[in-house]
Amino acid sequence: MDTIKPAHTDIRLRSLSYSSLLTLHSCPRKYQLYRLNSKVDKEEDTNTSVTFAYGHVVGLGIQEYITHHNEDKALWAMFLLWYPDLLDENIKQQKSFWSAIQAVQRFIAMCNAGYLADWKLAYYNGKPATELSFIVKCPDGFTYKGYVDAVLQNDVTGEVMVLEVKTTASPSVAAATYKNSFQAIGYSIVLDALFPDLSSYTVQYLVYKTKSREYDSLPFVKDYLQRALWIRTLLLEIETIKQYEVAGIYPQHGESCYDFYRECEYMNICTLSTESLTTPLDPEAEAEIQKRNDTEFQITLTLGDLIAAQLDKE
């Protein structure tokens, strides 16, 4: 079957990631408007900014501690990254800069009690394998980008593990939330660069519950047969976007207009024309995006590279 080839797809719509695909699944129209930099007259409220910053600084603090085993360095890095006011907080979700510090200190206490005792941080090109960035260049100018929190290897067994830090305001954590995550399979891209002969690996989700101030650890073993399906799924996602471009319509999913306890930022305006809502892409901006794609990521692969590596492992 011939693939669909729209006349031109904006490079911003061709830049995929795990989070952008979640948006595409929830509402294609929101994905289109968000990726094309649509302007909305709605400032980010305090709760939203604190929630966004909270997850980032907790992850950073844990990465810094795994790397340096120094609490002061970890807390200082968190302080530098925190952008809301230091006294701002999301009371309902119990998230603030100070509770983020508690989350990292709780992780440090777990490490002092033996958590990750037999695991050492992997290195890539002489640098710690934390926040490793990768990009996969796909057909028709599409890209898939991602970051890995930390890659560890067991001193005794040689097993490889990706540590993925999450935070939640939910009182409980369901394994089904993470077990079949598209994100987790994508980590094999990074692991190929670090461990070319690897046939399986573990993704351990370390989920901090903000209300009970406790961590749940959820390990899932992944093998490279699962990545074959991941590659095919990514190609299908690309074809879906190309279909929307050919049709000239990104469907609205009304069931997603209210999500995470708030209205979508494009509520009441998404029915207006795309041209009136979005920012045109000028050649200089497009060239800058292309330059970042070519230089900004630590690991760069093509889809052909992934397929070749997959065939070698089967």
Q: Parallel, antiparallel, or unpaired for β 130-137 and 299-302?
A: parallel
**How far, in Å, CA of 218 to CA of 229, rounded?**
22
Average pLDDT in the chain: 91
**How many distinct structural domains can be found in the chain?**
1
The answer on pLDDT for 39 being more than 70 is no
Q: Per-residue confidence at 311, pLDDT binned at 50, 70, 90? A: confident
Q: Is residue 275 part of a domain?
A: yes
In a 10 Å sphere around its CB, with 0-12 CB exposed, 13-18 middle and 19+ buried, how is residue 64 labelled?
A: buried
Q: Is residue 67 part of a domain?
A: no
Q: Is residue 240 part of a domain?
A: yes
Which pLDDT belongs to residue 1? Answer: 43
Residue span of the structural domain in which 21 resides: 15-42+116-313
Q: Is residue 5 part of a domain?
A: no
- Residue-wise pLDDT tens digits, 134-190: 999 999 999 999 999 999 999 999 999 999 999 999 999 999 999 989 999 889 888
Which pLDDT belongs to residue 43? Answer: 47
Q: Is residue 157 part of a domain?
A: yes
Which pLDDT belongs to residue 38? Answer: 61
The answer on pLDDT for 94 being more than 60 is yes
Q: Is residue 125 part of a domain?
A: yes
Which pLDDT belongs to residue 307? Answer: 86
User: Which one is predicted more confidently, 153 or 226?
Assistant: 153
Q: Is residue 304 part of a domain?
A: yes
Torsion angle defined by CA atoms of residues 37, 165, 219 and 217, in that order, rounded to the nearest 10 degrees: -140
User: In Å, how far are 22, 52, 243, 248, 251 from 28, measured between CA atoms?
Assistant: 10, 22, 12, 12, 6
Q: What is the mean pLDDT of residues 191-207?
A: 90
Q: Per-residue confidence at 42, pLDDT binned at 50, 70, 90? A: very low
The answer on pLDDT for 204 being more than 80 is yes
User: Which one is predicted more confidently, 39 or 296?
Assistant: 296
Q: What is the mean pLDDT of residues 273-279?
A: 91
Q: Is residue 7 part of a domain?
A: no
Q: What's the pTM?
A: 0.88
Which pLDDT belongs to residue 293? Answer: 93
Tokens 């890539």 appear where? 124
Q: Per-residue confidence at 224, pLDDT binned at 50, 70, 90? A: confident
